[in-house]
Chain A
Amino acid sequence: MTTVGLALVRELAVAVQAPRMLYLHWPFGHALGEPGQRDQQRTILHDAFALARIAPHPGLVVDLPYQWRRHAYAPVMDWATESETLREAMERAEAIC
């Protein structure tokens, strides 16, 4: 069984040593974003599903760069392919590793 976690405190995401984590610099209680923002919520699920599929090794914590209330979210068109945002965020995470 594969797991992917969302995190709102980066240091906890690292400390917990989970297989795959996506970190969002957003307020507590808002892991999927803002109320009623369906495209935003689906974007986060898209990134989570993609990380579950393509994460190369255990323990990766990927910082998603979406800024709280300052990012416009388009509908997810291709669920089978990871977003450019996630791909770049993974490259940054791997560089830190």
Chain B
Amino acid sequence: MTQDTRITPGNRAREALARWADRSPLGQRVAYWIGRTAGGIQLRLKIKGRADIPWTPMNKPLAEATVALVTTGGVHLCTDQPFNLSSDASFRVIPRAATSDALCISHDHYDRRDAARDINLVFPLERLLELEQEGVIGHVADVHYGFGFVKDPLELIAAGRKVGAQLAQAGVDLVVLIPG
């Protein structure tokens, strides 16, 4: 597949906005303001009042740890069903054997052209595999997870718990969370 065919086409107006946001300083400021205002207010209202922040210290040296990735950049196997671009709280499993040309991006709230050229920007699996080879990390987990755009963060709670349980069951020690 080519870089272009690995991007699920999105809303044209949003696409134009995302490209403008990516390529100009003013666009970046506007996109940041939108993200901060829309997302920040929503999260503050919905997460307000949580008593404790979860905390699990690293109890193993990195060179012995199993590391997994969770991305919200809309990454999935091209053979899997694309995410619904308007909002989708489901997740996709991405095996460690997935090559970059087998990965697609279904998310139209950011300019995906650079990520389509180098998927490591939103899903650094190739970097992790290098680090495993070099002995920097113990193991790259057998499976990783991709999420798409979600309007309401509360919808992610059930899917997030399911992914967390699967990661724990797989013996993962460290998860790196990457936004789109």
Chain A hits for B36, CB < 8 A:
9-12
A48 to B178, CA, bound (A): 11
Task: Point out the residues of chain A lying under 8 angstroms from B115, CB to CB.
Answer: 29-30, 35
Please provide the chain A residues from 34 to 52 with a CB less than 8 Å away from any CB of chain B in the complex. Answer: 34-36, 38, 41-42, 45, 48-49, 52
Choose the segment among B8-16, B87-95, B121-129 that binds chain A (4+ C-beta atoms closer than 8 Å): B121-129
Q: Is the CB of A41 within 8 A of B47?
A: no
Whether A35 lies near B53 (C-beta < 8 A) is no
Interface majority SS (helix, strand, loop, mixed), chain A: loop
Shortest Cβ distance from residue B147 to the other chain A in the assembled complex, whole angstroms: 13
Known A-B contacts A27-B21, A28-B111, A45-B127; A4 and B177 likewise in contact (beta carbons under 8 Å): yes
- Cβ contact within 8 Å between A19 and B43: no
A19 to chain B, nearest CB (A): 5
Given A28-B109, A30-B114, answer yes or no on A58-B180 (Cβ-Cβ < 8 Å). Answer: no
Are B53 and A42 closer than 8 Å at their CB atoms?
A: no
Partner-B contacts on A (CB < 8 A): 1-12, 15-19, 27-36, 38, 41-42, 45, 48-49, 52-53, 57-59, 79-80
